[in-house]
Amino acid sequence: MAKLEILEFPDSRLRTVAKPVEAFDAALRELVDDMFETMYDAQGIGLAATQVDIHRQLLVMDVSENRDSPKVFINPEIVDSSGEETCEEGCLSVPGIYADVSRAETVRVRAQDSDGDFFEEDLDGMHAICLQHEMDHLEGKLFVDYLSPLKRRMVQKKLEKQRKIADQKAARAVL
Ligand code: ZN
């Protein structure tokens, strides 16, 4: 297993639209393992392949408190949805930023598992929000896209400042 690098906003690679997964082989299962390791290490509840620069329709999530309910969705498709819910969201690719986003309250998803078998599942609560957030990633969309252009620029500036401070700290450590 290996930890993967997570791309951060405004990296243009996060705008790539993912292609369907076609090969359900050992390499895919290794990628799924690596994505779980990366997500758990970063203390995220979901991770889309797009975020680790793999542009295939694949996402992993675990919204359980004990971090013991891993779920994999390959080539996911929302076949039904209802209601509306607003939740404060964050994202491993937009560290330290949180904002309210409105999404469907419940969704029915059709997807494939690591063996390529199709399944359908009804999701609600955090599961539904997380799935919609991660599926946005696969289409090259980020939760900050739901904000006004002014607010999005503020987010970008805040991130640039955070990175500058981190770089300075790193430079000091080298001395
Ligand atoms: Zn995200």
Question: Using CA atoms, how far apart are residues 31 and 79, in angstroms rounded to an integer?
Answer: 26
C-alpha distances (whole Å) from 26 to each of 31, 32, 98 are: 9, 10, 36
Residue 134 designated active-site: yes
pLDDT in tens, 51-103: 999 999 999 999 999 999 999 999 999 999 999 999 999 999 999 899 999 99
Q: Are 158 and 96 contacting, i.e. CB atoms less than 8 angstroms apart?
A: yes
Compute the distance from residue 9 Cα to the ligand 1 centre, in Å: 10
Question: How many Cβ atoms from other residues are within 10 Å of residue 86's Cβ?
Answer: 11
Tell me which of 5, 77, 88, 134 is the catalytic residue. Answer: 134
**pLDDT over 70 at 174, yes or no:** no
**pLDDT over 90 at 168, yes or no:** no
pLDDT at 175: 64
Question: Using CA atoms, how far apart are residues 127 and 106, in angstroms rounded to an integer?
Answer: 9
pLDDT band at 167 (very low <50, low <70, confident <90, very high): confident
pLDDT at 171: 78
pLDDT in tens, 95-146: 989 999 999 999 999 999 999 999 999 999 999 999 999 999 999 999 999 9
Compute the distance from residue 81 Cα to the ligand 1 centre, in Å: 20
Average pLDDT over residues 1-20: 95
Q: Are 37 and 60 contacting, i.e. CB atoms less than 8 angstroms apart?
A: no
Centroid of chain to Cα 164: 24
**pLDDT over 90 at 6, yes or no:** yes
Compute the distance from residue 144 Cα to the ligand 1 centre, in Å: 10
pLDDT at 1: 75
Compute the distance from residue 6 Cα to the ligand 1 centre, in Å: 10
Phi then psi dihedrals of residue 42, to 5 deg = -85, 0
- The SS3 call for residue 48 is strand
pLDDT at 25: 97
Compute the distance from residue 174 Cα to the ligand 1 centre, in Å: 32
Nearest to 29 by CA among 74, 66, 93: 74
Question: Using CA atoms, how far apart are residues 130 and 25, in angstroms rounded to an integer?
Answer: 26
C-alpha distances (whole Å) from 16 to each of 46, 95, 128, 140, 168 are: 18, 20, 23, 5, 31
